[in-house]
Structure 1
């Protein structure tokens, strides 16, 4: 039987699982091609060894080469067991890459089997016809990642050789799992779930690698904690099959909250899909899961499952000093989610990075909402527009099924659109990304450009690193104060609204604030938005800022900067090694709006009228 994620946290694609797979992480042959002179596998001279999937700039790769290396090559011999060998008409072999930064070419036994552009999104190749020998094959990968190409979506990766200000060491080449999967000759290629909370339905589209024969059937079963909710048999139309699953317990209709997904009750519906031939024999079987939940903005409020929901997010770079954008292990992805939850946040904004799907799995399972964001470019030209749009569409498609994802953020702080106020073309691009995202996914809010200079979006995200709670109260305490801030205040030296945009029912959130650092030592590399002298002062200043935000009657949420120290950006609540700077229980008490933490999060004391009025709302956000 197919192992689930409880048993196999290494599985790289948690929402489409099969039992026959193999992780190709480990030692690969490696070479730098600084002259960019090699064009084919036979040209490369492999003189080093690297530990995949860690980037060559990182310690865990075994290399720690942080200089400029725009082109790198990988090679590995893969031996095949008898059960893995392709058999024409019966069994196929697929090679998967979680992410290769930035442009990749892949050869198998000298045959070019895949090319891909986009440093954060996955790609695959059916290598059945390319494998030249029954006992195994040679795979070679060329990755091109020019550090000085500012039209390339790069996020927080520095284009300078030594990291400066808020940018970090680079992540070149393979940085997520490379894996091999055995599939039948006809197989499920992709799944898409569309939840309907009002009807209690889950709509499924299954796509296959080729047209399905007319006499084949698709059998779908949905379960919740072992209780069957729905069964259905449908037939494919060409390469797709569609099912509408009415979610009910076989023993009766459960309570609504027993079906819905939320951070307080992260109910995950297990889904099994079988493709069967005319005789009833199983051709392909996959396991997946979905969440029945809705996320929307209406009349200035963010709604989860139809009810107002206050977002308490933390900004997370998800960067590790020993492995950079790559997690040191699958367990580190799980632990990152648990840390956010333990600190009293109900969500996380992954900043300038499309995170490993296993991280999103743990957010789904533990109960943590996520804002999906992409690494941005730094210049505006036709090439940058095409690159960002292509990779963004891949990201939305990859992560559509994760119930934890409740908002999309294609652009941050006008990165890649630096002349947004004065250039109509740049404004058209932002509006275009917003509307394109909405057309692909009408089920989630979209923020066209988070931070300032809003021209399109369902949420007005504001970045304001004011150092005192009084300033935050003056700017966001009431609707009148918010209107004044929109019209007269430029919190980060930029207008919040531009191109004649006025508020039209969007939810308003403080999506970056805080950024507090402990005062650095004399020679310490440092970056932050304000300093305090001790852990006690950090906690008090954090309490002051968050209390001011919670007292606002117009803000529907916040995102604190940030979860961990990251290289010289030392403004995390946790150090880079994930140890806390202050007592996590005290931070949690602040975040949930209580005077102090008590078992079970029972309300002990409410300090302000605003907190008293919103106590039930905040309980719903646990």
Structure 2
């Protein structure tokens, strides 16, 4: 475990400074269904009629409001004190996620706007604040039922239906302040090279190169407290890159250690920025030395084939919906996943809290990171999706646990991708755009069926009977040649695209539910634990029987509102014997 960068509840564990303040807790709150707030100048004083507990949305019980109805505009207000001793600093106001558009005022003055419900963002509010006194933060969140908006599993109708749940509106992840010098590091992109036993750092220091700066940046890499490498570079422009070997013996013999699920070793790294020899910024981070590649129809981790036993995780909690109720709740879910014999998670239709990704890095849980879908294809949807996806890939690039990017799922938002050239071109564009930022991870387009240029061929199949599953997949050439249909006449590839030897993974199956009139699962509901486990065994062992299938993803870890096909209930209680689930998962791999 990396300990250098860990601070409990710290919202951004990949880039840690010690001078920060959480703004979570009680805020004033007000609905604005008629969108009158800006015209009525609410940023000058909200005159709120209720309180809300941030970062939980008004739809949740955890917020203290628990109103599931849709309100398109909501307002927040909070008084914050800024101590006089930080008056020489810049004050950054961070939002880890606001759904969907956020407008921010400080002391009644407009600061800026951000669109995108799943990406983190920040504003420099220094010109708007008064140090040594109270300051008023006002936030307006604008949401919609527009299907061109990336929304994932959030409903776009009045009531929940099928696998779509109560919407998420407004602030749903941590809000916090950070105090930095006028010149500071904005980001560091870390790229390990497993084969060369080296790592490269791309530093972003806005303002570097200006007259009189004379900046130097020192990087210290440690493994388990021992210094592995130290080096310094002069920073004379905003973007700079440096690659270094980690086969270094300045501190005695050192054995190369990689990151993998069975030994999730992490290097701690410290970045120290100096101006004319005086320290002005210090950031703690970490990275894992690992490689994801594809060869001969297999996914390789560190040049060895890895069989991925994934479980679908939508990241919902009963009382807080998309927002993790606590860091302990994040850890509990990860521990359940390991206890059931899985080595990874497909984080479905959600970009998860960065603390979740941190703990996956620490504990060695593989992650497929999947974008929240739109449900229409038009110019607005294309632009909104592209902009937010780029933000997300860049923000989460450094996490070693993320081994696959999944921008599209089941043709959602691209409903005619089977034949429509415009929609096919859109998926190709997103694929290549993702690769331009991150050429080192597989990209799946589009998960489930009707693939275009996907690095992995993934199939969703909720067949209930193992024997029928064996018959369907016995001839690989029939599957990849679009001659086998599954899930209501879906095919593996979009028209005009051929199989290129990609690995094949059954990335959704199962979805077994007990008999109930309060929800649904996939296929026929079962009446007993014995029937549940026998069906689970039958279909899982059928998938495991095929050498050409490189893994699977079971649906799903927990019940979610009306969808009751979890191995755990919404409040994380096992529904069947999990040791039996574990043994089946580990039986042949």
Instruction: Write the deviation string for residues 510-539 of structure 1: whole angstroms up to 9, x where unpaired.
Output: 00000100111xx42334333211122212
**In structure 1, which of residues 111, 122, 146 is the aligned counterpart of residue 120 of structure 2?**
122
Q: 2:148–2:375: 8 Å Cα contact kept in structure 1?
A: yes
- Aligned pairs (5 A) from 1:247-396: 247-248=246-247, 250-256=250-256, 259-278=257-276, 280-396=277-393
2:67 aligned residue:
65
TM superposition shift of 1:253: 4.8
1:597 aligned residue:
none
TM superposition shift of 1:111: 1.8
Instruction: Write the deviation string for residues 194-224 of structure 1: whole angstroms up to 9, x where unpaired.
Output: 1100110110112123225563211101111
* 1-structure distance, mates of 2:240, 2:332: 37
Structure 1 unaligned segments of length 5 or more: list them: 594-610, 612-617
TM superposition shift of 1:475: 2.3
Instruction: Write the deviation string for residues 132-157 of structure 1: whole angstroms up to 9, x where unpaired.
Output: 353131000000011x2111111100
Partner secondary structure for residue 332 of structure 1: helix
**In structure 2, which of residues 425, 450, 454 is the aligned counterpart of residue 453 of structure 1?**
450
* 1-structure distance, mates of 2:48, 2:353: 28
* 1-structure distance, mates of 2:399, 2:225: 20
* 2-structure distance, mates of 1:530, 1:80: 59
Q: 1:218–1:241: 8 Å Cα contact kept in structure 2?
A: no
Distance 1:194 1:525, change over 3 A: same
**How many residues get paired?**
582
TM superposition shift of 1:193: 0.4
Partner secondary structure for residue 590 of structure 1: helix
TM-score, normalised by the number of residues in structure 2: 0.96
Q: Mean Cα displacement is larger for which, 268-277 or 527-536?
A: 527-536
TM superposition shift of 1:45: 3.7
Q: Mean Cα displacement is larger for which, 106-115 or 210-219?
A: 210-219
TM superposition shift of 1:419: 1.4
* 1-structure distance, mates of 2:509, 2:524: 11
Q: Please tell me the root mean square deviation across aligned C-alpha atoms, in Å.
A: 1.7
TM superposition shift of 1:250: 4.3
1:571 aligned residue:
565
TM superposition shift of 1:171: 0.9
1:507 aligned residue:
503
- Aligned pairs (5 A) from 1:171-250: 171-212=168-209, 215-248=214-247, 250=250
Q: 1:528–1:570: 8 Å Cα contact kept in structure 2?
A: no
Partner secondary structure for residue 63 of structure 2: coil
1:599 aligned residue:
none
Distance 1:5 1:274, change over 3 A: closer
Distance 1:3 1:276, change over 3 A: farther
TM superposition shift of 1:43: 7.2
Structure 2 unaligned segments of length 5 or more: list them: none
* 2-structure distance, mates of 1:49, 1:214: 46
TM superposition shift of 1:80: 2.2
Q: 1:166–1:527: 8 Å Cα contact kept in structure 2?
A: no
* 2-structure distance, mates of 1:589, 1:5: 35
**In structure 1, which of residues 510, 519, 522 is the aligned counterpart of residue 515 of structure 2?**
519
Partner secondary structure for residue 517 of structure 1: coil
TM superposition shift of 1:439: 1.3
1:35 aligns with 2:37: no
Q: 2:557–2:566: 8 Å Cα contact kept in structure 1?
A: yes
Q: 2:214–2:236: 8 Å Cα contact kept in structure 1?
A: no
* 2-structure distance, mates of 1:299, 1:207: 38
1:433 aligns with 2:435: no
Partner secondary structure for residue 447 of structure 1: coil
Instruction: Write the deviation string for residues 293-319 of structure 1: whole angstroms up to 9, x where unpaired.
Output: 111222211011111111000000010
Q: 1:5–1:11: 8 Å Cα contact kept in structure 2?
A: no
Distance 1:295 1:574, change over 3 A: same
Instruction: Write the deviation string for residues 435-481 of structure 1: whole angstroms up to 9, x where unpaired.
Output: 11111110000011100111111000100000011122122345355
TM superposition shift of 1:268: 0.6
**In structure 1, which of residues 141, 144, 162 is the aligned counterpart of residue 142 of structure 2?**
144
- Aligned pairs (5 A) from 1:435-584: 435-480=432-477, 482-483=479-480, 486-520=482-516, 523-584=517-578
* 2-structure distance, mates of 1:269, 1:477: 44
* 1-structure distance, mates of 2:250, 2:541: 47
1:86 aligned residue:
87
Distance 1:11 1:543, change over 3 A: same
1:47 aligns with 2:43: no
2:158 aligned residue:
161
* 1-structure distance, mates of 2:561, 2:121: 30
Q: 2:272–2:281: 8 Å Cα contact kept in structure 1?
A: yes
Q: 1:451–1:462: 8 Å Cα contact kept in structure 2?
A: yes
Q: 2:70–2:167: 8 Å Cα contact kept in structure 1?
A: no
TM superposition shift of 1:114: 2.3
* 2-structure distance, mates of 1:483, 1:321: 40
Partner secondary structure for residue 242 of structure 1: strand
* 1-structure distance, mates of 2:463, 2:143: 37
2:12 aligned residue:
13
